[in-house]
């Protein structure tokens, strides 16, 4: 069967099958001591000990859904979280495809989804990031239906979903910029349907009121849920904590100064990284322009094929050391066509040009994609590198489909030696394009096998298991398993049981999840606290625990230079902030008479037997 004869539906199902198969294969590899445990631990504790995961209430709606999953499948563990993430990914891809297939080339969309799957280590497990993508795309779909059909119920539903999206991740409030689609739709339709100004204003206000009504209803519903579950005060405390962290300059990954610094830094990296690819593409065009003037096919065709293969080789060479910058490359590849097509449409409308005019649906989708690209990185400590990869599931298929439509499909390919334009057969062009695509795909595929779930190293080297019920079926490297299993055994021998308080410092929140323990400082990952906030939380926890007369065991991660590369912070935080946190921790251990009772290459366990006597004497 020829490629062109495969139906779009079959092509999409094959792409979806590849995505599912690829993710299922990766299910069993990669053990993450950081983000995975931090998120899944909050789902584990939200209904049983919500105050112990106070900080994670900044992701309240995702915590709520994850908590329901954990309540239904309490022993599903890390694999269970990845299953839920895959279900969310499938729903997102199907929703995006159904929304875009009537406007953009369906096969191009399917191919773009495969690229997103292999290139991005996104959607490895359920958390607030993929849920943000799903809720945003769902809101766009409902808003589009409401505006194009004049259905107020759909518009209200979009407003409700954007409120839930804001409670999924507080910075998602910026995605409310999608409300701009309402006047944009009225403006665009006003120009095509010749409505009166009064009719347009009435339509605008009806849509805005419906949107606001849906948003208000969802806000009341989520606040009522918090009130009933006793979560409202914890959520308000979490907002206060977020404000304090944002104020601390360079003391936390989530401080406002660090967020701005990293986002600006990502832009500084984006320009030179993408400039190289633009230069390579322009070189390719010049070579083709020169080759088309050669009349002898025996010279012309090999020259073109060689130039494409050379471009593929250079791309592989360039991409390999820049694996962490791939998201910037695809962001650029998606953003430029989207902006260019929007400008084209607005120019076409302004000059009332004849011909095939863009539909209102296409205009709104392009505007929505641009808003998503602009708002998703806001508030993320890694900016485009973090939330950008999740935005790409919606924006990259659109940009890729535009490129296919206006470059590949509209390109005139002829065979005659005297013909004008690119004198190259379709089969040769397809072969050259396939070589280029395959080279980039192999680089991305290699990246997917060596960096999944924050566990660097080829999946084929991960043959060891973590001895925990909640980590069943997960394979990792021998050193990771050996040190982690030793810590879990030591905690059990020191009397740590499910529901106990435990302090893990500074970046091993997954230990809390595997032991089902409560974070002593109301956060399983103390590193996100500024030094001042960490000190405050430890003092508050001491006061609350004094009546119990027993000090919690403390897990101390060995110095960072002794840890494997995948456990190190992904960007530099001020050394003085790290040193200040370490000093606060040493003071806590010393003032409460802790002593080290166990250690291995990675971890230490500290216990205190004098807590009760000390607190009684002090009280």
pLDDT digits (tens, 9 = 90+) for 367-425: 999 999 988 888 776 667 778 888 999 999 999 898 877 655 444 443 344 444 444 44
pLDDT tens-digit map of 534-553 = 999 998 888 877 655 678 99
Question: CA-to-CA distance for 268 and 387, rounded, in angstroms?
Answer: 18
pLDDT at residue number 469: 94
Mean pLDDT throughout 62-83?
95
Question: Among 62-76, 77-91, 179-193, where is mean pLDDT lowest?
Answer: 179-193
Closest CA to 203 of 270, 141, 152, 127: 152
pLDDT at residue number 488: 96
φ, ψ of residue 452 to 5 degrees: the values are -135, 135
pLDDT at residue number 40: 95
Mean pLDDT throughout 439-451?
57
pLDDT tens-digit map of 220-262 = 999 999 999 999 999 999 999 888 776 665 555 555 555 555 5
Whole-number percent of the chain with pLDDT over 90: 43
Question: Among 192-196, 208-212, 418-422, 610-614, where is mean pLDDT lowest?
Answer: 418-422
Residue with tokens 């974070």: 519
In angstroms, how far is CA 575 from the centroid of its own chain? 27
Question: Among 168-172, 220-224, 241-245, 445-449, where is mean pLDDT lowest?
Answer: 445-449
> Is residue 516 within 8 Å of 499, Cβ to Cβ?
yes
Q: Pairing mode, if any, of strands 455-456 and 501-505? A: unpaired
pLDDT at residue number 203: 86
Residue 447's pLDDT band (cuts 50, 70, 90)? low
Residue 75's pLDDT band (cuts 50, 70, 90)? very high
Question: CA-to-CA distance for 116 and 129, rounded, in angstroms?
Answer: 15
Best-predicted range by mean pLDDT (287-296, 438-447, 509-518)? 509-518
Q: Is the model more confident about 348 or about 335? A: 335
Residue 575's pLDDT band (cuts 50, 70, 90)? low
Mean pLDDT throughout 105-130?
83
pLDDT tens-digit map of 5-48 = 778 899 999 999 989 988 888 888 888 888 889 999 999 999 99
Best-predicted range by mean pLDDT (168-177, 374-383, 607-616)? 168-177
Sign of CA dihedral 498, 499, 500, 504: positive
Best-predicted range by mean pLDDT (8-17, 260-269, 454-463)? 8-17
Question: CA-to-CA distance for 105 and 488, rounded, in angstroms?
Answer: 52
Whole-number percent of the chain with pLDDT over 70: 69
Mean pLDDT throughout 439-443?
59
pLDDT at residue number 413: 41
Q: Is the model more confident about 563 or about 240? A: 240
Closest CA to 530 of 568, 589, 497, 579: 579
Residue 352's pLDDT band (cuts 50, 70, 90)? low
pLDDT at residue number 359: 83
pLDDT at residue number 1: 41
pLDDT at residue number 410: 42
Question: CA-to-CA distance for 192 and 185, rounded, in angstroms?
Answer: 11
pLDDT at residue number 581: 87
Question: CA-to-CA distance for 404 and 406, rounded, in angstroms?
Answer: 6
Give the number of other CB atoms < 10 A from CB of residue 116: 26
Residue 156's pLDDT band (cuts 50, 70, 90)? very high
Residue 54's pLDDT band (cuts 50, 70, 90)? very high
Would you state the structure tokens that stand for residue 252, as one six-digit string? Answer: 């936390």
Q: Is the model more confident about 448 or about 570? A: 448
Closest CA to 391 of 227, 175, 563: 175
Residue with tokens 């399983």: 524
Residue 165's pLDDT band (cuts 50, 70, 90)? very high
pLDDT at residue number 305: 66
Would you state the structure tokens that stand for residue 283, as one six-digit string? Answer: 């070189």
Q: Is the model more confident about 272 or about 64? A: 64
Q: Is the model more confident about 323 or about 177? A: 177
pLDDT tens-digit map of 504-515 = 997 899 999 999
Residue 329's pLDDT band (cuts 50, 70, 90)? confident
- The maximal CA–CA distance of the chain, rounded, in angstroms, is 100
Radius of gyration of the chain (CA): 27
Give the number of other CB atoms < 10 A from CB of residue 161: 24
pLDDT at residue number 572: 39
In angstroms, how far is CA 5 from the centroid of its own chain? 35
The per-residue DSSP string of 62-99 comes to HHHHHHHHHHHSTT-HHHHHHHHHHHHHHHHHHHHHHH
């Amino acid at each position: 069967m020829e490629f062109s004869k495969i139906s779009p539906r079959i092509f999409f199902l094959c792409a979806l099958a590849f995505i599912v198969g690829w993710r299922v294969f990766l299910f069993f590899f990669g053990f993450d001591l950081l983000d995975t445990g931090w998120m899944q631990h909050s789902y584990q504790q939200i209904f049983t000990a919500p105050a112990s995961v106070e900080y994670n209430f900044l992701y309240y709606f995702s915590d709520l859904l994850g908590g329901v999953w954990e309540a239904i499948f309490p022993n599903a563990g890390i694999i269970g979280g990845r299953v839920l993430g895959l279900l969310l990914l499938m729903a997102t891809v199907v929703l995006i495809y159904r929304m875009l297939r009537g406007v953009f080339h369906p096969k191009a969309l399917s191919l773009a989804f495969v690229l997103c799957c292999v290139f991005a280590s996104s959607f490895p497990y359920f958390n607030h990031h993929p849920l943000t993508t799903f809720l945003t795309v769902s809101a766009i779909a409902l808003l589009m239906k409401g505006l194009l059909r004049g259905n107020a119920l759909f518009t209200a539903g979009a407003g409700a979903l954007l409120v839930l999206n804001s409670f999924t991740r507080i910075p998602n409030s910026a995605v409310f910029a999608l409300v701009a689609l309402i006047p944009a739709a009225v403006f665009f339709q006003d120009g095509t349907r010749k409505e009166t100004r009064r009719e347009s204003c009435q339509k605008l206000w009806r849509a805005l009121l419906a949107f606001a009504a849906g948003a208000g209803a969802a806000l009341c519903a989520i606040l009522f849920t918090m009130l009933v579950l006793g979560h409202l005060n914890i959520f308000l405390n979490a907002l206060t904590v977020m404000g304090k962290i944002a104020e601390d300059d360079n003391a936390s990954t989530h401080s406002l100064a660090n967020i701005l610094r990293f986002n600006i830094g990502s832009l500084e990296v984006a320009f030179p990284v993408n400039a190289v690819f633009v230069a390579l593409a322009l070189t390719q065009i010049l070579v083709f322009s020169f080759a088309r003037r050669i009349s002898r096919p025996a010279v012309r065709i090999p020259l073109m094929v060689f130039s494409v293969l050379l471009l593929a080789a250079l791309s592989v060479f360039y991409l390999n050391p820049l694996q962490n910058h791939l998201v910037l490359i695809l962001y650029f590849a998606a953003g430029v066509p989207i902006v260019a097509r929007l400008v084209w449409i607005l120019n076409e409308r302004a000059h009332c040009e004849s011909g095939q005019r863009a539909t209102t649906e296409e205009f709104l989708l392009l505007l929505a994609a641009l808003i998503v690209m602009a708002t998703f990185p806001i508030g993320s400590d890694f900016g485009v590198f973090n939330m950008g990869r999740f935005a790409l599931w919606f924006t990259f298929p659109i940009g890729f489909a535009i490129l296919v439509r206006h470059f590949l499909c509209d390109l005139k390919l002829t065979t005659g030696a005297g013909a004008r334009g690119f004198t190259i057969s379709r089969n040769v062009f397809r072969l050259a394009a396939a070589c280029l695509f395959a080279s980039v795909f192999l680089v991305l595929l290699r990246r997917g096998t060596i960096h999944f779930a924050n566990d660097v190293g080829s999946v084929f080297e991960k043959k060891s298991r973590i001895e925990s019920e909640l980590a069943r079926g997960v394979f990792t490297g021998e050193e990771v398993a050996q040190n982690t299993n030793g810590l879990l055994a030591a905690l059990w021998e020191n009397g740590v049981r499910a529901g106990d308080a435990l302090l893990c410092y500074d970046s091993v929140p997954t230990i809390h999840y595997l032991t089902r323990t409560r974070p002593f400082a109301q956060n399983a990952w103390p590193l996100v606290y500024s030094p001042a906030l960490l000190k405050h939380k430890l003092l508050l926890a001491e006061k609350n625990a004094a009546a119990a007369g027993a000090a919690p065991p403390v897990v101390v991660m060995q110095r960072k230079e002794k840890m494997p590369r995948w456990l190190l912070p992904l960007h530099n935080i001020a050394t003085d902030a790290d040193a200040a946190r370490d000093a606060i921790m040493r003071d806590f251990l010393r003032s409460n008479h802790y002593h080290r009772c166990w250690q291995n290459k990675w971890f230490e366990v500290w216990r205190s037997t004098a807590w009760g006597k000390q607190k009684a004497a002090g009280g």
